[in-house]
Amino acid sequence: MKIALAQINPKVGDIKGNLERIKDFIKRAESRGADLAVFPEQSLAGYPAFDLWEEHGFVAANQKALKDLAQGVKEMGVLIGFVARNPRKIGKPIFNAAALLHRGQVAAVRHKSLLPTYDVFDEARYFEPACDNVPMVFKGVKIGVSICEDAWARRCAATLRRLYRKDPVQEQVKKGAQILINISSSPFTRGKSMTRLKLFSEHARLARKPFFYCNLIGANDEIIFDGNSLVFDARGRVVARGKSFEEDLVLVDTQAKLKPLPQPLFKGDVEEVAEALTLGLRDYAGKCGFDRVFIGLSGGIDSAVVCALAVRALGAGKVTGVMMPSPYSSPSSMADAQGLAANLGIRTLILPITGIFQSYRETLGDVFAGKPENVAEQNIQARIRGNLLMALSNKEGGMVLSTGNKSELSVGYCTLYGDMSGGLAVLADVPKQTVYCLARWFNREREIIAQNIIVKPPSAELKPNQKDQDDLPPYDVLDGILTAYIEERLGPEEISKRGYGRKLVDAIVSRIDRAEYKRRQAPPSLKISSKAFGVGRRMPIVRASYHYS
């Protein structure tokens, strides 16, 4: 059987547009002689649709699209993800489902068994789990169809422990499945490519059956899908692979003698992060209807990397860099910002804020009289810049990109309604150390981000001679503590055993907890780690400071 994996980029809720994209890929699969075209989980509706799944009209439209699609399917079969209604009066009203379309009909439907409720997932809130899931029969072949999480029963990558008592894939093998197919909307996180490969390879090897994994690509809100669809032979070897972060159509003949693909299969960590952020930014802007972006260029490394990513995602003509020097901005920072803009070929604006800052100080003079200068005056500058960027966004119809990184956001080293202003926080899940790695990656062929930007001590330049390290530990130390606390979920005592001083750990952890109210008001951020701020991390704003370690 010739099976085509169509890893496509649907938009949540755009059922009509998604349907047209699916039809186009069906034609491409037919032209290549496929017997069966396979599409990812929830291809028709887009994933994740969250509370749209609760809207009757949304579900009905997706079902109508499935029927329309089936009517155009002839000899080649189509396996596709959609939302199915639950006809029973007990349980959730819908299923996360897969349909086999053949000869103008919906020939078979199977439901997802395992509904994830960790990290960004909350499927048990919406869907009813499958009661049973037997193989489909297509052209005389028994096909074991699983949907995303169904193939992750052996362990959860985040916890390395089994989350489920049953294994739907192996259950289908016991029921006679000859080919295993998993349709997925599996989000990208750093290191996940190899985790998937090992897990699915084990499924194929244990079952002694070929295993096909078809994954979504694209970004919806904060979540990025990387594609990387995979085909394994009965020995668990990878014999075909879809592109990373691009739509692709992969065709494999199960009767052919296939050779394992050469290693390595995947790109390096930093390149994958760059690709993920580029796709996330491009899709967020495009799917939300923004055709241009504005970035405050400070001459620092964070804004430089965001600007380089924006040009890569949207093109130089869609990016405007705005320089807003204050009384404390150094001449070298302005020169670095202008040099970056020249290297990237973007439009620039210079809007000095010294006069506006002085007007604020005069207005607040009587109220602030007799009180020493502190963070209030610093934050006024950041908020002026945020207002100017938002004014440009309103006037020209573009979106502001905020430039803060995960290290800063973690400890609240950022200004509400200031540098946190914007429609998307591109680096909010990127630790400072990785920001430096991205800068060097952009310079791999020619210098885009000047060496001075990379080597100079980071500074917000909101007061004379200010440096980030006046208020924070060195970033390599800070990032180590943050990773342990946020992503590994370790307590202060466990973290301090890694060589960090307990007093420092307690201070950083306290800052992380206190900054939750700020993060709740931050723009959406692109998720690349196992635990990002936003939809996948649900911490109370109001909480006791006691830690259980």
Q: Please report, for the chain, the start and end positions of each structural domain, with discontinuous segments joined by +.
A: 2-255, 273-469
Phi, psi at residue 249, to the nearest 5°? -130, 120
Partnered with residue 49 across adjacent β-strands are none
What is the residue whose two structure tokens read 């790695």? 437
pLDDT for residue 549 is more than 90: no
- Mean pLDDT, the chain, rounded, equals 95
- CATH topology for the 2-255 domain: Nitrilase/N-carbamoyl-D-aminoacid amidohydrolase (3.60.110)
Do 93 and 87 form a contact (C-beta atoms < 8 A)? no
Kindly report the pTM of this predicted structure: 0.95
- Give me 494's structure tokens: 């466990």
140-164, pLDDT tens digit by residue?
A: 999 999 999 999 987 654 446 678 8
For the chain, report the end-to-end CA distance as a whole number of angstroms.
56
pLDDT value at position 178?
98
User: Given pLDDT bands bounded at 50, 70 and 90, which one contains residue 547?
Assistant: low
pLDDT for residue 508 is more than 70: yes
User: Given pLDDT bands bounded at 50, 70 and 90, which one contains residue 287?
Assistant: very high
pLDDT value at position 158?
45
82-133, pLDDT tens digit by residue?
A: 999 999 999 999 999 999 999 999 999 999 999 999 999 999 999 999 998 8
Catalytic status, residue 257: no
Do 433 and 479 form a contact (C-beta atoms < 8 A)? yes
Do 4 and 36 form a contact (C-beta atoms < 8 A)? yes
User: Given pLDDT bands bounded at 50, 70 and 90, which one contains residue 318?
Assistant: very high
Choice among 112, 192, 209, 518 that is catalytic: 112
Q: How far apart (Å, rounded) are the C-alpha atoms in residues 518 and 428? A: 13
DSSP 371: S
As a dihedral over the C-alpha atoms of residue 472, residue 478, residue 483, residue 488, rounded to 10 degrees, the angle is: -90
Catalytic status, residue 41: yes
**Higher-pLDDT residue of 156, 425:** 425
pLDDT for residue 180 is more than 90: yes
Closest CA to 283 of 229, 228, 227, 221: 221
Q: Which amino acid is at 271?
A: E
Based on the number of CB atoms within 10 Å of its own CB, is 485 exposed (0-12), middle (13-18) or buried (19 or more)? buried
Phi, psi at residue 488, to the nearest 5°? -90, -10
Sequence-distant (≥ 6) Cβ neighbours of residue 335 within 8 angstroms: 299
pLDDT value at position 461?
78
Secondary structure in 3-state letters for 310-341:
HHHHHCHHHEEEEECCCCCCCHHHHHHHHHHH
Choice among 20, 27, 142, 148 that is catalytic: 148
Closest CA to 36 of 176, 141, 168: 141
Do 144 and 172 form a contact (C-beta atoms < 8 A)? yes
**Candidates 3.60.21.10, 3.40.50.2300, 3.30.365.10, 3.40.50.620; CATH matching 273-469:** 3.40.50.620
Work out the average pLDDT over 440-455. 96
Catalytic status, residue 148: yes
Do 252 and 44 form a contact (C-beta atoms < 8 A)? no
10-57, pLDDT tens digit by residue?
A: 999 999 999 999 999 999 999 999 999 999 999 999 999 999 999 999
Q: How far apart (Å, rounded) are the C-alpha atoms in residues 158 and 120? A: 12
pLDDT for residue 546 is more than 70: no
Work out the average pLDDT over 238-267. 95
Q: How many CB atoms lie within 10 A of CB 60?
A: 12
Choice among 41, 171, 275, 408 that is catalytic: 41
329-387, pLDDT tens digit by residue?
A: 999 999 999 999 999 999 999 999 999 999 999 999 999 999 999 999 999 999 999 99
